[in-house]
Amino acid sequence: MDKSWIEKKIIELKNKFCSNANITVPPSYAQKNTFSGTEAQVNLDRWKNNEFTLTIYPSFFKISKKNAEFVLAHEIMHIKDIISNDFGYDGSLRGYNGCDRIANLENTIWEISIDMRLEKMGYAKIQEYNERVSEYINTHWPQYKNRFTLDINDLAEVINNPTCGGIKSLAERKNNDWIEYLTNKN
């Protein structure tokens, strides 16, 4: 994977999913990973201006071309959702270290919804669904480990008709299930 392959692929994906977006790729590929397991990341801070920065991390170069394409498509799907009127983005769903449980779950659901949509479009499958869910949950939400399910049926709506509001309401429902679980346990 060289620089020109990456640049070509980004242009191809941008034209396919979000041709109106203004995406900048910083020229340096030598930046440190923010946390391990992140090969690329889109910065959404300037989403209201329709300006996005897509950073490629060194670990990106260690994965296969098929996976690299999936990673780039995943990042560009975040942009696609944000600029689509149907999605109704409001600045949320981003998650961050130390954010509350619902905010974290909203982010997790958005991530999985993107991956599942890409798979439906025929992009290479990197992981089995259940592995992916537990990886997201273990990474972002370890207190839920082994006690929480995010069934594929739960996600059908946010895969078939992804909206910011739909993702947030699913997160709230799942969070209520969790509270109910804790209540019944005690």
Residue among 133, 130, 126 at smallest CA distance from 108: 133
Least distance to Zn ion, CB of residue 96, Å:
13
Residue with smaller CB distance to Zn ion, 81 or 111: 111
The count of residues interacting with Zn ion (CB under 5 A) is 1
Residue with smaller CB distance to Zn ion, 90 or 177: 90
Residue with smaller CB distance to Zn ion, 121 or 179: 121
Residue among 26, 135, 8 at smallest CA distance from 68: 8
Residue with smaller CB distance to Zn ion, 81 or 144: 81
Least distance to Zn ion, CB of residue 147, Å:
24
Per-position DSSP letters for 84-113, written without gaps between them: -TTTT--S-----TT--HHHHHHHHHHHHH
Euclidean distance between CA atoms 70 and 160, whole angstroms: 19
Q: For residues 95-114, which are near Zn ion according to CB under 5 A? A: 111
List interacting residues with Zn ion (CB under 5 A).
111
